[in-house]
């Protein structure tokens, strides 16, 4: 540990350690503690003493052990080789450590975040290479693309000048050839070597040139999300729900089908068996874009509930830093954080051990600040390189007992603009996704409306009609519980019937159905438009005097609820054929009762 600021352990309280002699170190500097060099981070400085939170099991650590500051903040290594890797919260490669130490990591275990033995074919930017060959002085601007590496079949990693570069002109650019992640890609006149990989502090957001409006939807293929409660690229969403309501399942479906280029899944404090399912299922999932493994554009961060609690706290910062790295290349990145409640519980435990004053339900007073810092790193930006990229954050929240009034859910609602509330009654009824159309909302609907109206001009109208219908159905359901449905007039019973078609034929999706597991935007709006068209025509027939039984006995009613599975995404002509049949049936019914009215 030579060259480091050294001190000695004075007090140990779980993952919180007090060390003396580190007064000259910096806040958030990485510290190595004890003989095993357990990794930690300075979270508070008090004169010559430092309060350290360690990210590993410190069982057996004794007072008087050596604690040495490395002089740099906790950072992630960013470069080719990230894709398809499974990390823990501090970017240690779990597959490598499993081979090294088995199922349980040894304290102080090390592994390279990026495999330095692997060679990548570096291809320099042709325009830049030509300028340098011609003897031009090219300024090393932050974000400048030096070249590229084909990381996977799905992702090309651009090698760029880091945002914190010292500047100067480029004096050397590597030629085309096989290089490892630590090889020098370029040199500057300020004496700076720019390698294929770079380090970046995880708690500091990477800069962009300009923040763009969130007017492009993140299409997920889930109808209840895309049409009713849309999320923008660069937007923030929360999925709160009690145990068993389908938070993880919904995130899996979004991860597989959404039109993001890169997926980062953060298993933050989840049960080990759930994370095991993710680790075994994701490599087997087929990317619908390429037909290859989804892992070719996915990074997994696993930090289960039985792993050290402090690493859980930092895992979401590691995940969002990796996301910003790919955003800067012009990719659209989606982060699945499962779950921010477990992350908040880690904050609460660490805060308690540091003897801080607790706020509501024992959470630290700075919980809202930390949540804001995380969600504010989402966004659609113009990058320093001139590309357009985005980071979308979808955070699962696990309120105890499904109580949405608890602090984590309430504070999360302050910083997100899309709220997908999961309903236990829907989950128990096997209605998936179990997203409540009454409690959920999206503030992105007006911003993405122009995009959707290019798909179908009726998007906003049909969406609002359907939401109004479902609210009417909820009010009527309370009356039905008291007096039964037969006491209602036909026009109100029609609301109940069409609401059921809407729930079964539009809102519910079957992940095991080859047709229904994903729905293209054009089909989504057309299905909703047909259901609302049926309601309008049926309402007119009832006003003309037609009994409800005449309408419900029409064959089109049953077929309407099955269109989601019977019409394929690439055969939307079937919806036009159905509309023609529905128009004929309903107009015939209208004519028969118009003629009776005239008589």
Q: What is the pLDDT of residue 102?
A: 73
| Phi-psi category of residue 338: left, alpha or beta, with phi > 0 → left and psi -120 to 50 → alpha | beta
User: Residue for token digits 């570069």?
Assistant: 165
> Quick check: 177 pLDDT over 60?
yes
**pLDDT value at residue 598:** 53
User: Reduced to 3 states, what is the DSSP secondary structure of residue 26?
Assistant: coil
Burial class of 354 by CB neighbour count within 10 A (0 to 12, 13 to 18, 19+): middle
> What residues have CB less than 8 Å from 465, skipping those under 6 apart?
532, 535
Q: How many whole angstroms from its chain centre is CA 593?
A: 53
Mean pLDDT of the chain: 91
pLDDT surpasses 50 at 178 = yes
Residue range 159-171: average pLDDT? 93
Q: Which pLDDT does position 599 carry in this prediction?
A: 47
- When pLDDT is cut at 50, 70 and 90, the band that residue 2 belongs to is very low
Write the DSSP assignment of 241-293 as a string of letters: --TTSSHHHHHHHHHHHSS-SEEEEEEES--HHHHHHHHHHGGGPBPTTTSSB
Sign of CA dihedral 474, 476, 481, 485: negative
Task: Examine the pLDDT at 1 and tell me if it is beyond 50.
Answer: no
Instruction: Flag whether pLDDT at 183 surpasses 50.
Output: yes
pLDDT-derived band at 268, boundaries 50, 70, 90: confident
Q: Has residue 596 got a pLDDT over 70?
A: no
325-349 per-position pLDDT tens digit: 999 999 999 999 988 999 999 999 9
Is the pLDDT confidence value at 393 over 50?
A: yes
Region 58-62: what's the mean pLDDT? 89
Q: What pLDDT, on a 0 to 100 scale, did the predictor assign at position 320? A: 97
Predicted confidence (pLDDT) at residue 306 exceeds the cutoff of 80 = no
pLDDT given at position 396: 94
- How much is the CA Rg of the chain, to the nearest whole Å? 28
Share of the chain above pLDDT 90, in %: 74
Q: Which residues contact 474 (CB under 8 A, 6 or more apart)?
A: 438
Kindly list the distances between the CA atom of residue 237 and the CA atoms of 59, 266, 397, 409, 444, in Å, as whole numbers in the listed order.
Answer: 38, 15, 10, 12, 10
Measuring CA to CA, which residue among 175, 146, 149 is closest to residue 79?
149
Q: How far apart are CA 420 and CA 224, in angstroms?
A: 9
Mean pLDDT of 269-279: 72
**Measured distance CA(466)–CA(501) in Å, rounded:** 11
């Amino acid at each position: 540990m030579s060259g480091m600021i050294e001190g000695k352990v004075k007090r140990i309280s779980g993952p919180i350690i007090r060390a003396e002699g580190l007064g000259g170190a910096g806040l958030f500097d990485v510290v190595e503690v004890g003989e095993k060099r357990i990794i930690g981070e300075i979270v508070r400085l008090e004169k010559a003493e430092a309060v350290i939170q360690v990210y590993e099991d410190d069982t057996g650590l004794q007072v008087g052990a050596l604690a040495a500051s490395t002089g740099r903040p906790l950072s992630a290594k960013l470069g080719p080789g990230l894709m398809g890797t499974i990390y823990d919260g501090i970017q240690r490669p779990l597959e490598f450590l499993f081979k090294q130490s088995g199922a349980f990591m040894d304290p102080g275990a090390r592994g390279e975040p990026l495999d330095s033995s692997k060679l990548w074919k570096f291809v320099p930017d042709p325009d830049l290479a030509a300028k340098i060959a011609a003897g031009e002085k090219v300024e090393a601007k932050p974000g400048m693309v030096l070249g590229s590496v084909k990381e996977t079949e799905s992702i090309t990693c651009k090698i760029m000048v880091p945002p914190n570069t010292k500047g100067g002109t480029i004096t050397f650019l590597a030629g085309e050839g096989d290089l490892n992640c630590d090889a020098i890609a370029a040199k500057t006149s300020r004496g700076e070597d720019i390698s294929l990989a770079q380090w970046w502090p995880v708690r500091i957001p990477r800069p962009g040139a300009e923040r763009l409006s969130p007017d492009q939807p993140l299409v997920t293929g889930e109808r209840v999300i895309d049409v009713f409660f849309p999320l923008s690229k660069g937007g923030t969403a929360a999925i709160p729900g009690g145990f068993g309501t389908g938070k993880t399942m919904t995130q899996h479906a979004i991860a597989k089908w959404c039109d993001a280029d890169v997926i980062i899944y953060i298993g933050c404090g989840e049960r080990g068996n759930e994370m095991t399912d993710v680790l075994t299922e994701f490599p087997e999932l087929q990317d619908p874009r390429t037909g290859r493994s989804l892992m070719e554009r996915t990074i997994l961060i696993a930090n289960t509930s039985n792993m050290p609690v402090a690493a859980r706290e930092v895992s979401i910062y590691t995940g969002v830093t990796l996301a910003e790295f790919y955003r800067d290349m012009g990719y659209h990145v989606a982060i699945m954080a499962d779950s921010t409640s477990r992350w908040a519980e880690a904050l609460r435990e660490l805060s308690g051990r540091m003897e801080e004053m607790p706020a509501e339900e024992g959470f630290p007073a700075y919980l809202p600040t930390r949540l804001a810092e995380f969600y504010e790193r989402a966004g659609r930006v113009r990058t320093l390189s001139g590309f357009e990229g985005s980071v979308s954050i979808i955070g699962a929240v696990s309120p105890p007992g499904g109580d949405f009034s608890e602090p984590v859910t309430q504070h999360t609602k302050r910083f997100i603009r899309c709220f997908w509330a999961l309903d236990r009654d829907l989950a128990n009824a096997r209605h998936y996704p179990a997203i409540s159309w009454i409690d959920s909302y999206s503030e992105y609907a007006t911003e993405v409306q122009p995009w959707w109206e290019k798909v179908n001009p009726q998007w906003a109208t049909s969406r609002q009609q359907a939401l109004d219908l479902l609210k009417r159905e909820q009010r009527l359901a309370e009356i039905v519980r008291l007096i039964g449905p037969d006491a209602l007039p036909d026009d109100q019973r029609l609301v109940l019937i069409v609401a059921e078609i809407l729930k079964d034929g539009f809102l519910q999706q079957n992940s095991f159905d080859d047709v229904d597991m994903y729905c293209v935007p054009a089909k989504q709006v057309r299905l909703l438009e047909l259901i609302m068209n049926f309601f309008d025509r049926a309402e007119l027939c009832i006003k003309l005097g037609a009994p409800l039984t005449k309408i419900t006995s029409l064959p089109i009613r049953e077929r309407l609820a099955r269109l989601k599975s019977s019409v394929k995404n690439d055969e939307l002509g079937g919806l036009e054929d159905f509309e023609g049949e529905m128009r004929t049936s309903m107009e015939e019914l209208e004519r028969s009762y118009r003629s009776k009215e005239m008589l």
